[in-house]
Amino acid sequence: MKTTSSFPWALLLFVLPLLTAFIACQKIVSIDLNEAAPHIVIEGNITDQHDTTTVLISKTGTYFSSVINVPPVSHAIVTITDDLGKRDTLYETLNGTYESTTLKGLEGRRYSLKVVSEGNVYTAESSMPQKVTIDSLYTIPVRERDGDVGYDIYVMFKDPPERGNYYRIRPRVNSLPPDSINGARTFLYSDKLANGEEITERIGVRIRNGSQRAVVHVGDTITVDLLSIDQPTYEYYKTLATIRSSDQSATALSPANPNTNLSNGSLGYFSAYTYDSKQIILR
């Protein structure tokens, strides 16, 4: 359900028909950007499943660098504590990757992350929400006028009666990361507009999408994770999505770094979440 659609700027072409022949000329320009001093980035996740609890620590890199250059941060002390006082120290498995295989999250618990690196301390807290399961997952083939052919995947779930539930839907194709579906879209959902309802969210995947390469094929397995996230995580992803869309939209407000629950000016987030997965094969 999307009730707050933003303006479809492309359709503006109809308003000023004489402009259609000219509108939106684009060219590559060279922009001189300041080189920012490297800044710490922490990305921490803990789930209710038997996943490895992982905290990634790195630093920001040069924006126009031809080689992606985001240096990992080693030798940090990373601990996660729950609200019962149970504490676990994560160990560095790869440069900048800190893991624990013994730590498993529980619904309703509150988790605290503490990172000590290069003499600075960064902390964050996140509550693991009640788990919400996917009631059903189904696909409907679509063939659109503009030549797109593919599927609409519908995810149905029941929002709990109390307000304040936040979701993130993470689709995957044959276990590949979500980037391969619909580009960079983040499927976020809050029960603000429809609390306690049976929710149906639609995700579009296309076999042929304009002139672009196929993103799915008949026979592919689509896995959909329904993540129940807390409000700060929702806030993080929502403000992150604003940055991404502001790359595209000429008229968006000034972009800023996403709102994080991490202290001491760190970029990134720490999220405790529950999730439910379902799979479907495209036919």
Partner 1 sequence: MNSIGRIGILVMLIIAVRQDSDAAANMYTLSGIIKSSENGEALIGATVSTRGDRIIGATTNAYGFYSLTLVEGTYVVQMQLIGYATRMDTVVVDRNQVININLVPELIKEHEVVITGERTNANVTSTEMSANKLQIKDLKSIPVLGGENDILKTIQLLPGIKSAGEGNTGYYARGGRTDQNLIILDEAPVYNSSHALGFLSIFNSDAIKDVTVITGGIPAEYGGRLSSVLDIKTDDGNMKAFGAKGGIGLIDSRLTLQGPIVKDKGSFILSGRRTYADIFLHLSSDTTINKVRVYFYDLNAKGNYTLGDKDRIFISGYFGRDNFNYPSLFGFNWGNATATLRWNHIYGDKFFGNTSLIYSDYEYTNTATTGTTEFTINSGIRDVNGKLDFQYFLNSNNTIIFGLNTIYHTFIPGTLTSNTALSGNAQSVEHKFAVENAAYFSHEMAIVKGVKLNYGLRFATFTQLGPGTAFTYDASGDVIDSTVYGSGKKIITFTSLEPRISANFAVDDQSAVKASYTRTGQFLHLLSNSITTNPSDLWVPSTNNVKPQLADQIALGYFRNYDNNEYETSIEVYYKNMQNIIDYRNGADLQLNPNVESQLSYGRGWAYGAEFLVKRRIGAISGWLTYTWSHSKEQFAKINAGNAFPGRQDRTHDISLVIIYEPAGRWKYAATWVYYTGNAVTFPSGNYFVDGRLIPYYTERNGYRMPAYHRLDLALTYTFSERANLNVSLYNAYDRWNPYSISFQRDPNDLTKTQAVQTTIFPIIPSVTYNFNF
Question: What residues numbered 90-119 form the site for partner 1, per CB under 8 A?
Answer: none
Give yes or no for residue 185 binding partner 1 (CB under 8 A): no
Residues between 40 and 59 with contacts to partner 1, criterion CB under 8 A: 41, 43, 56, 58-59
Q: How far is the CB of 212 from partner 1 (least distance, A)?
A: 11
Q: In which region does residue 118 sit, left (phi positive, over 0), alpha (psi from -120 to 50) or beta (all else)?
A: left
How near is the Cβ of 88 to partner 1 at its closest, in Å? 23
84 lines the binding site for partner 1 (CB under 8 A): no
Per CB under 8 A, 263 contacts partner 1: no
Contact between 213 and partner 1 (CB under 8 A)?
A: no
Q: Which of residues 186-205 bind partner 1 (CB under 8 A)?
A: 193-197, 202
252 binds partner 1 per the rule CB under 8 A: yes
**Binding of partner 1 at residue 223 (CB under 8 A)?**
no
**Interacting stretch for partner 1, rule CB under 8 A, among 76-84, 105-113, 126-134, 241-249?**
241-249
Other beta carbons within 10 angstroms of residue 63's beta carbon come to 10
Q: Measured between alpha carbons, how far is 57 from 39 in angstroms, rounded to an integer?
A: 11
Q: Is 4 in the site for partner 1 (CB under 8 A)?
A: yes
**Distance from the Cα of residue 13 to its chain's centroid:** 32
Nearer to partner 1, 102 or 211 (CB): 211
**3-class DSSP state for residue 240?**
helix
Binding track over 117-156 against partner 1, x by CB under 8 A: ----------------------------x-----------
Of 223, 242, 263, 277, the one binding partner 1 by CB under 8 A: 242
Q: Measuring CA to CA, which residue among 201, 194, 195, 188 is closest to residue 157?
A: 201
Distances (CA, A) of 135 to 92, 160, 162, 200: 38, 13, 18, 10
Q: Can you tell me which of 166, 167, 189, 269 binds partner 1, judged by CB under 8 A?
A: 269
Nearest of 107, 99, 114 to residue 133 by alpha carbon: 107
The tokens describing 81, both together, are 């504590």
What 3-state class would DSSP assign to 81?
strand
The residues, any chain, with a CB within 8 Å of residue 34's CB and separated by 6 or more, are none
Which one of 21-29, 47-55, 115-123, 128-136 is the stretch in contact with partner 1 (CB under 8 A)? 21-29
User: Which of residues 102, 175, 211, 251 is near partner 1 by CB under 8 A?
Assistant: 251
Name the strand (E) or helix (H) holding 271. strand 267-281
When asked if residue 211 is in the footprint of partner 1 (CB under 8 A), the reply is no
- What are the strands of the beta sheet with 134-143, ordered from one edge? 134-143, 149-158, 198-208
Angle at 180 between CA 39 and CA 184, to 5 degrees: 50
249 binds partner 1 (CB under 8 A): yes
